[in-house]
Amino acid sequence: MTADAPTVAPTTAAEPPTTPRPAAPEQVPAQVAGQAPEQTPPPATFGAPWIRTTGELAWKLVGIVAAVAIVFYVVGLVQVVFVALFLALVFTTVLLPLGDLYDRVMPRGLAMAASLLTAVLAVGALVTYVVTSVVSRWEDLATEFGSGLTDLAGLLTGIPMLAGLGTPGEWLADGGAWLQANAGDYAGTAAESAGSIAEGATAVVLAIFCTVFFLTQGSRMWRWALDFVPADRHDRWEAAATAGWTAFSGFTRGMFFVALSDGILAGIFLSVVGVPLALPLSVVVFLGAFIPMIGPVAAIVISVLVALAAKGPVLALVVLIGMVVVAQIDANVLQPLITGKQVSLHPVVMALVVAAGSVLGGLLGAVVAVPLAGVTWAVFSTLRRTAQEAAPAAAHGVTRGTAPEAVPDPAPGTAAPHEAD
């Protein structure tokens, strides 16, 4: 009897754990040579193209109007500061050439201070001359004015249509009674005028203070402001600021020459017709030319009143016609040729801008409307031109201020890429 041999089960090697393989990427069919690539259809749009274009333009106009309204609102809140800044820029444009002239013989800071002192002395001399001329002939003017009013009253009473309105004495009595009845309203108006005069004096003092720093440190202040602009846009904003400053300074200096021409023409005319105080009146015309609409009218009224007081109604009528002719030469010849060319605005556009400024901002709006419109147009035109010039360079990979990348020469013994083809 033999023992059975033990049976051993066959053993197998342990299989390692299997990990799932990533799915093979979906095969994209290769593009057939000569066949255009398949394009994704554009998203569906609503309406005709002209409707979409009009809508985009309308939204842009709404944004522009809203921005302008915000600017006017902020300016209304800080009107004194805005007036001071505007006057400081005007003073700077007028005094900068004189300061550059003084800069040839003295240090820069002293030259700018000397130019400011020269301007103050010149204005003070003009005002002193006008005041002393009027005061020196005040008694004669009062006598002549009384006789002129008597002659005018006799002329008016001789008109049949005015005979039923009473005598000149009754007119004066009615006028005095009306003034007494409205004395309270005039007192309130006088108080408001005193407040306005105080604000005006504050604006002038602040403007002179700013002018000193604009003349002495203007370049440094501009570089500081330019640091807030990205470096790759410095050239564009530098060109735009230069164009805006050129337009503003050209307009200001053009207005100075226009006012000087008006004063000279008015002085010659008043001296020829024999109106007393012709030279002081020409100074009044010169100063009034800086205030649109109101300044020339006020100068004409003052000249007519002086002629009426000195020589009677006939000469007053001649002075009225002559001063209106001078004003028309100013508005239709000198300003379009001098100031209009500086701001690149058509005379019709200038008239519309002055009217819109007077409606929106009164006298202040009429004064600042044309220079602001000229500066805005100059800046916009420059930015648009520089953007158009930069577009082709950007399309070829060339940025402003950098040279195009040079292509290296091929190694010796090898052909250039276009030759290998």
Which range is least confidently modeled, 8-12, 272-276, 357-361?
8-12
Are residues 98 and 115 in contact, defined by beta-carbon separation less than 8 angstroms? yes
Instruction: State the burial class of residue 201 (Cβ atoms within 10 Å of its Cβ: 0-12, 13-18, 19+).
Output: exposed
Which range is least confidently modeled, 145-159, 304-318, 326-340?
145-159
Residue 158, pLDDT > 70, answer no
Separation in Å, CA 49 to CA 45, 57, 60: 9, 12, 17
Average pLDDT over residues 378-384: 87
Residue 396 has a pLDDT of 59
Residue 148's closest CA among 305, 318, 321?
305
Average pLDDT over residues 129-149: 74
Give the tens place of pLDDT for each residue, 18-71. 555 555 555 545 555 555 555 665 555 555 777 878 888 888 888 888 887 888
Residue 165 has a pLDDT of 62
Separation in Å, CA 324 to CA 173, 318, 335: 33, 10, 15
In total, the chain counts a number of residues equal to 421
Residue 3 has a pLDDT of 47
Alpha helices by DSSP H, 274-346: 278-288, 294-311, 313-329, 335-337, 339-343
Alpha helices by DSSP H, 103-182: 108-136, 138-157, 160-163, 168-181
CA 88, 89, 95, 100 torsion: positive or negative?
Answer: positive
Give the tens place of pLDDT for each residue, 322-333. 998 988 887 777
Residue 160 has a pLDDT of 64
Report the distance separating Cα 335 and Cα 338, nearest Å.
5
Residue 11 has a pLDDT of 47
Q: What pTM does this model have?
A: 0.66
Residue 79, pLDDT > 70, answer yes
Residue 197, pLDDT > 70, answer yes
Give me the helix-helix angle, 183-226 and 168-181, nearest 10°: 70
Are residues 344 and 378 in contact, defined by beta-carbon separation less than 8 angstroms? yes
Report the distance separating Cα 223 and Cα 239, nearest Å.
13
Average pLDDT over residues 105-116: 86
Report the distance separating Cα 320 and Cα 44, nearest Å.
69
Residue 413, pLDDT > 60, answer no
